[in-house]
Amino acid sequence: MNKIKQYFKTHSYNIATYGIVIIAYVVMQYLSNADMLSRSVNGYLVPICAYIVLAVSLNLVVGISGELSLGHAGFMGVGAFAGIVTAACLQGVVDSDFGRLMAALLVGGVVAGIAGVIVGVPVLRLRGDYLAIVTLAFGEILKNIIGNLYIGKDETGIRVALSQAELHLGAGGKVILSGALGATGVQKLSTFFAGFLLILFTLFVVLNLINSKEGRAIKAVRDNRIAAESVGINVTAFRMKAFVVSAFLAGMAGALYGLNYSAVSASKFGFNTSIDILVFVVLGGMGNILGSVISATVLYVLPEAMRGLADYRMILYAVVLILVMLFTWSPKVKEIMSVVTAKLGGIFKKKEVGTNE
Amino acid sequence: MGFLQYLINGISIGSVYAIIALGYTMVYGIAKMLNFAHGDVIMVGAYMSFCVTNYLGLPAVVGILVAMVVCTVLGIIIEGLAYKPLRGASSLAVLITAIGVSYFLQNAAQLIWGSAPKNFTSIVTFAPIKLFGGQLTITGEVIITILASVVIMVALTLFTGKTRMGKAMRAVSEDRAAAQLMGINVNQTISMTFAIGSALAAIAGVLLCSTVPTLQPTTGSMPGIRAFTAAVFGGIGSIPGAMLGGILLGIIETMTKAYLSTQFSDAIVFLVLIVVLLVKPAGLMGKVVQEKV
């Protein structure tokens, strides 16, 4: 009994995180089944799941490992297109839609993870703002490459080329990816349930990683690299681990996202999307996984909910973003807040004393 | 002859990058922040000049001056409202605020001028110079751009080297606390840096849109990222580095498009940047700061 209590005490944060996600899923699924959600809200469910996974995985790099990455959308894009190609290739081989989706997610994650290794080797030699700019550069390179790939399939197998003409598809061949136009005619496989499973999987991986020996080593590197190095932590290996896990999860999220639309183009996975994900992480709190989940949901819904304001909505979003940053980070506001809370605390204390007498 | 032509065009577009990169690098050197809204100040400058010359029918010089004044004021306002309250906060917080400002400027521009691209009339009126029997064409825009960047470079070097304000800037960028102890008004110096950077952005905006005449709310973002890359390439915080980085980036970009691949020009440009940073982690002309234990 005591052991269980102890477990709940030390893991209350994780339990709360899982609990909130599960409750939110059950409620949304119920509402969706009961036809109480509008079409547009139903359409947001899967992208929200994808963005939650992206935010949590980026938080692993930015919050836990302490490196500013500006190229997260590149991994998302790699995962998305790898997933789309996989799903298209398995059409007719695997009958179940869900099975194909799972295979697509897995391949998307693995390919993005490999991209993460390739990117990570040079990137993790750098530090600070230089690391940020190189991740930005790699994000753009990945976007540029997937924006120029042509992939098609015919009875002989899969063909990859750099232009439509070079594809030489046989009779009955089908183009899966066509360069800058991206993938068109994608079969929508993603479901809210799959998104929910992916979130749980991501939380499981990330929360366990954070609380493990490896996670503590990664945090030690973030807090003081030199001190960590001097107690025998292999700095590069641990930074690499966090980076690759993050890329893998981002790839899975990308595959989920890509298979939710009938047409996806590479331009979606550029700098702006990377920045959006970074905003989710920073506003949710660095290193705070539950914060990322909540802020990704709220910040994704916020501009959509403001659609009624038409042209003003993005301006309002920008203003909200600036104000939130000013109010949560400004040293002056923090000082004022601490004074206010101290005073309020003082009032309550006095009252307590008064009632005791 | 083709090579020479590409080289000149590369230097021209590189000069625009260099002018934008100067704004990034000065702000980074002094405020230690990545000002992602800088690219959008360029766009505002270009729109201002466009409005003055097209709607009011005034000469291009007036357009440039108005653009510079508006951008200078805009730069000071942005700094005062959005960045100043966050001084001393984590650099990531300032970065996100800068992104917020960038969104704001882009969407405000879209609201005011619409998202349809405007056709920017070039500020240069004289005819292109043809050399070697027409084999080599140097447009007026190219000449003006290169001249402007040289003038700006010389003026900035003199300003930071000789004037009181310039020396104060260098002092603040070296050690903010020590500069404050020496009686330098740090806040005023930072505002001044933003003012200069934004005025340069206005010039860059006009020059950029004279070369590439489509003007829309997102015009500034890609050149902004390119110029930021150029600033890092040359060693962020270093003024000659930004100039060198910008011009090299312009040349690499044009040459890649001409000889290697137009499709992959972005990838190749960024790949060069990565290779340079791996060999020289502080950029071409950046100072390597030793880490103290």
Q: In this prediction, does ipTM exceed 0.90? A: no
pLDDT for residue A172: 64
Helix and strand totals (H; E) in chain A: 14, 4
pLDDT for residue A171: 64
Are the beta carbons of A286 and B82 separated by less than 8 Å?
A: no
Does the CB of B242 have a partner CB in chain A at under 8 Å? no
Residue B227 Cα, gap to closest chain A Cα (Å): 12
Asked if the model's pLDDT at residue A356 lies above 50, the reply is no
Does the CB of B93 have a partner CB in chain A at under 8 Å? yes
Which residue range is the domain that position A86 belongs to? 2-290
Are the beta carbons of B85 and A145 separated by less than 8 Å?
A: no
What's the mean pLDDT in A106-133?
Answer: 86
Are the beta carbons of A325 and B96 separated by less than 8 Å?
A: yes
Residue A7 Cα, gap to closest chain B Cα (Å): 34
Ranges A96-105, A115-124, A132-141, A161-170: which has the least confidence: A161-170
From CA A67, how far away is CA A65, in angstroms rounded? Answer: 6
Residues in chain B, pLDDT under 70? 1, 133-134, 288-293
Q: Which domains, ranges and CATH numbers included, belong to chain B?
A: 2-279 (1.10.3470)
Tally the domains of chain A. 1
| Residue A279 in domain | yes
Cβ proximity of B249 and B268 under 8 Å = no
Q: B245-264 pLDDT, tens per residue?
A: 999 999 988 888 888 777 78
pLDDT for residue B291: 60
The chain A residue lying nearest B36, using CA atoms, is A275
pLDDT for residue B59: 82
The chain B residue lying nearest A143, using CA atoms, is B267
Asked if the model's pLDDT at residue A244 lies above 90, the reply is yes
Are the beta carbons of B267 and A329 separated by less than 8 Å?
A: no
Sign for the CA dihedral angle at A83, A88, A92, A95 comes to positive
User: Quick one: pLDDT band at residue A243, thresholds 50, 70, 90?
Assistant: very high
Angle at the Cα of B90 from the Cα atoms of B88 and B96, rounded to 5 degrees: 115
- Cα B148 to its chain centre, rounded Å, is 13
Cβ-Cβ contacts under 8 Å, A311 against chain B: 107, 110-111
User: Quick one: pLDDT band at residue A56, thresholds 50, 70, 90?
Assistant: very high
Amino acid at A233: I
Half-sphere exposure of A257 (CA within 13 A, CB side): 29
From CA B60, how far away is CA A65, in angstroms rounded? Answer: 51
Cβ-Cβ contacts under 8 Å, A312 against chain B: 111
Does the CB of B162 have a partner CB in chain A at under 8 Å? no
pLDDT for residue A348: 54
**Helix axis angle, A128-146 to B265-279, nearest 10°:** 150
Asked if the model's pLDDT at residue A351 lies above 60, the reply is no
pLDDT for residue A114: 93
Place of tokens 């917020």: B100
pLDDT for residue A355: 42
From CA B39, how far away is CA B43, in angstroms rounded? Answer: 7
Are the beta carbons of B232 and A133 separated by less than 8 Å?
A: yes
Does the CB of A283 have a partner CB in chain B at under 8 Å? yes
Does the CB of A131 have a partner CB in chain B at under 8 Å? no
Ordered DSSP codes for B182-197: TT--HHHHHHHHHHHH
Which residues of chain B from 250 to 279 reach within 8 Å of chain A, CB to CB? 263-264, 266-267, 270-271, 273-274, 277-278
Are the beta carbons of B263 and A315 separated by less than 8 Å?
A: no
Cβ proximity of A73 and A95 under 8 Å = no
Return the CATH number at A277.
Answer: 1.10.3470
Are the beta carbons of B34 and A129 separated by less than 8 Å?
A: yes
Spell out a b/e string for A111-128, using b for 16 or more CB atoms within 10 Å of the CB, else e.
Answer: bbbbbbeebbeebbebee
Does the CB of A121 have a partner CB in chain B at under 8 Å? no
Q: B87-99 pLDDT, tens per residue?
A: 877 778 888 888 8
pLDDT for residue B293: 56
Which tokens is A243 given? 């980076």
What's the mean pLDDT in A45-50?
Answer: 90
Place of tokens 């997937």: A146
The chain B residue lying nearest A141, using CA atoms, is B267
From CA B249, how far away is CA B209, in angstroms rounded? Answer: 18
Are the beta carbons of A137 and B99 separated by less than 8 Å?
A: no
How far are the Cα atoms of A115, A142, A147, A180, A183 from residue A81, in angstroms, in the given order?
13, 11, 10, 12, 8
| Residue A87 in domain | yes
Of B89, B104, B266, the CB nearest to A330: B89
User: Counting beta carbons within 10 angstroms of the beta carbon of residue A86, is it exposed (0 to 12), middle (13 to 18) or buried (19 or more)?
Assistant: buried
Cβ-Cβ contacts under 8 Å, B229 against chain A: 133, 136-137
Cβ proximity of B105 and B44 under 8 Å = yes
Q: B135-160 pLDDT, tens per residue?
A: 777 787 888 888 888 899 889 888 88
The runs of H, that is alpha helices, within B79-184 are 91-113, 140-162, 164-174, 176-181
pLDDT for residue A353: 45
Ranges A169-178, A333-342, B18-27: which has the least confidence: A169-178
| Residue A324 in domain | no
Q: Which residue has the higher pLDDT, A185 or A144?
A: A144
User: Quick one: pLDDT band at residue A28, thresholds 50, 70, 90?
Assistant: confident
The chain A residue lying nearest B289, using CA atoms, is A127
